[in-house]
Chain A
Amino acid sequence: MTKPLLSIRDLKVEFSTRYGHVTALNGIDLDLLPGETLGIVGESGCGKSITALTTMGLIPDPPGRIAGGRIVFDGEDITQADARRLRSLRGAEISMIFQEPMTSLNPVFTAGDQIAEAIMLHQSANRAEADRMAVELLRTVGIPEPERRAQSFPHELSGGMRQRVMIAIAISCRPRILIADEPTTALDVTVQAQIFDLMRDIQQQFGVAIMLITHDMGAIAEMADRVAVMYAGRIVEKGSADAILDNPLHPYTRGLIGCIPVLGKEAGQEGRMPPLAEIPGIVPPLHLLGQGCAFADRCPLAFDRCRTESPMLKGDVHKVACFAAEMEAA
């Protein structure tokens, strides 16, 4: 098996809130292999964005705090790294694109300036070289007339173009890991498709490993090699994208897939489509989590043990944390 580029082991992150300490991430194990796309999927509040921010060394401390575990990048535990080392990793080795391309670009500088700035921060390039590289990067991310667009300010660009500029900044230093936190949520569907296609091109071209954070199972199908499903700060199921989509084991994963009205062949048929599967209730607030499985209250298969004991992630390649699934398999 290939050696992972990034491996997260037993990561615990706590936040102090007005309800006291809450555990936002509770024992996360993840591996990101070179050149692959790992999808992290779940509803809002499940901890997927916090996983990304922690990996970037960007959780606000306080109120956040890494309470345990390791994040090993290329043999180095970056939870132990100091602020300076983290800065040199961010952008150069691990970079990130965010959900909202309007607010993540600085409105008073041109697109070209912001890319050149990122280049000069991590590479020994002078201004003229950096400007030239910025135009090349804009061409790489598929922006028409890159020379002219480099002079544009963010408000003069459409949402899709802004996200392309963000991607250009993110790949400016040839990082080995790209973390994409809901990169297309704010975009229209045709533009979302363009950004996904661009991300796949870039992955092929540069061999970058992508951690894709999303709530959208369709995006997972199109983009991911492997998937981790998160719920209430834990990973509840993990495996190849095909295994998760075709043979989901955790009732939460099954619910997530069943409740989405994705396009299918039924649409072309006469008559009504069958009702969607429902997951009752909502994700419980973290401060109300008790012992036992966090999903038990919403789970159609829950039994006594689920309410008293928290299931561990078990399995060889396709892993699941669920007592009911264990019994099914046995």
Chain B
Amino acid sequence: MTTETLLDVRGLSVRFAMPRKSLFGQRPVLHAVRDVSFSLRPGRTLGLVGESGSGKTTAAMATIRLAAAHTGSVLFNGIDLLKLDAEAMRQQRRHLQVIFQDPYSSLNPRERVGAIVREPLDLMMPDSSKSDREKRVRELFGLVGLRPDQMALFPHQFSGGQRQRVSIARALATNPRLIVCDEPVSALDVAIQAQILNLLRRLQDDYGLSYLFISHDLGVVQFICDDIAVMYLGQIVEFADRPTLFSRPRHPYTAALLSAAPSLARRKSAGYVREGAVKGDPPSPLNVPVGCAFASRCPRVQSKCRDERPVLHHNAHSAVACHYPLD
């Protein structure tokens, strides 16, 4: 296994200024991502896990500059993406692609799917001949399990799973190093999810792709990710490789997520009662608590948690931001 780093994100923060509540009031600031750091090695998959509002998607989008970062650095192949000018960043995009969540809105309804898949080539390799690009599109259709004779069709003529295959083909077109997968299967039916997940993993093996994989579904994450960062209210609360995270979760929030996730082993017939369940909803990112963001819902909360914000502490296997982690 190689130790070089493909992507190294340090101290990333993203803020959004919200509309004023009154005419002369201050604009409230939403702290979507707060001081997030992670790194990804080539050929691996890093999962960003969390619930809605945890900032997982925003963190990933800020990493590839589809959202504006407030502070931080993003070293991709040793280049700080956040410091590049617009044209230099545009040139980097051939190495960085995205697969979006909603296959119904991520494809332009007025373009034929062949043209959709060809577009990254048109933009990034304008010097190549048109027939070369067409050939590449055919090849991509084959790779993702579509037929080249479907190239002339429009997106609405495909099912959700097929559209997601088109989206994957588009992401692969320029031979990228990194693909951001933003909940790529959460809008699909369960049987179709499996097809897409298997495809993503096969493509990773064949082309040495690295994935930054965003998901709220621990089952999916367990299947596809090598390392996992659990996010809560804009921060990473726990970081570990897959076996460690699933067998020995240390943050109470990770434990709660694991106990909340559906599992075939928890049977009503066996009188299953959930342990470590959390109450209530996450606090608003407009009004971040002083102490630990999870304190209001944590079953192990103590007074220190409300006053002092925990930082990520590393041990041999994992990193956790908690004053009183589980063992």
A329 within 8 A of B: no
- Chosen A-B contacts, 18 in total, with CB atoms closer than 8 Å, are A189-B51, A189-B261, A190-B278, A191-B281, A200-B268, A217-B262, A217-B264, A221-B265, A221-B266, A222-B266, A222-B272, A224-B268, A257-B264, A260-B193, A261-B219, A262-B262, A263-B219, A268-B246
Cα distance A280–B145 in the bound complex, in angstroms: 11
Whether a CB of chain A sits under 8 angstroms from the CB of B259 is yes
Q: How far is the CA of A144 from the CA of B281 in the complex (A)?
A: 11
How many residues of chain A have a CB within 8 Å of chain B?
55
Give the chain A neighbours of B220 by CB distance below 8 A.
261
> Does A245 sit at the interface, judged by CB under 8 A?
yes
A contact set with B: CB distance below 8 Å: 37, 43-44, 144, 158, 160-161, 188-194, 197, 200, 215-219, 221-225, 240-242, 245, 255-264, 266-270, 272-273, 275-280, 282-283
- Not counting A190-B257, A222-B267, A241-B268, a sample of 16 additional A-B residue pairs whose C-beta atoms are within 8 angstroms of each other reads A44-B189, A188-B52, A189-B218, A194-B277, A197-B274, A216-B190, A222-B266, A225-B269, A240-B269, A241-B267, A260-B193, A261-B220, A262-B263, A263-B258, A267-B247, A276-B198
Which residues of A lie under 8 Å from residue B277 when comparing CB positions? 190, 193-194, 197
Q: Contact check, B246 vs A267: say whether CB atoms are below 8 A apart.
A: yes
Contact between B264 and A245, CB atoms less than 8 A apart: yes
Does B126 interact with chain A (Cβ within 8 Å)?
A: no
* Cβ contact within 8 Å between B265 and A267: no
Bound form: Cα–Cα A189–B243 in Å: 21
Q: How far is the CA of A234 from the CA of B195 in the complex (A)?
A: 24
How many residue pairs, one in A and one in B, have C-beta atoms under 8 Å apart? 147
Q: Which residues of A contact B217 (CB under 8 A)?
A: 189, 261
Task: Choose among B223, B247, B272, B274 the residue that contacts A268 (Cβ–Cβ < 8 A).
Answer: B247
- Name B159's contact: one of A240, A266, A282 (CB within 8 Å): A282
Question: Given contacts A193-B260, A215-B190, A277-B194, is CB(A222)–CB(B268) below 8 Å?
Answer: yes
Point out the residues of chain A lying under 8 angstroms from B263, CB to CB: 218, 221-222, 262-264
Q: What residues of A have a CB within 8 angstroms of the CB of B246 in the complex?
A: 263, 267-268
Using a CB–CB distance below 8 Å, which chain B residues touch chain A?
51-52, 159, 161, 189-195, 197-198, 201, 216-220, 222-223, 242-243, 246-247, 256-269, 272, 274, 277-281
In the A-B complex, the 5 residue pairs with the closest CB atoms: A218-B262, A268-B247, A193-B260, A259-B194, A267-B246
Inside 8 A of A270's CB, which chain B residues have their CB?
Answer: 243
Cβ-defined partner of A263 (8 Å) among B222, B256, B269, B274: B222
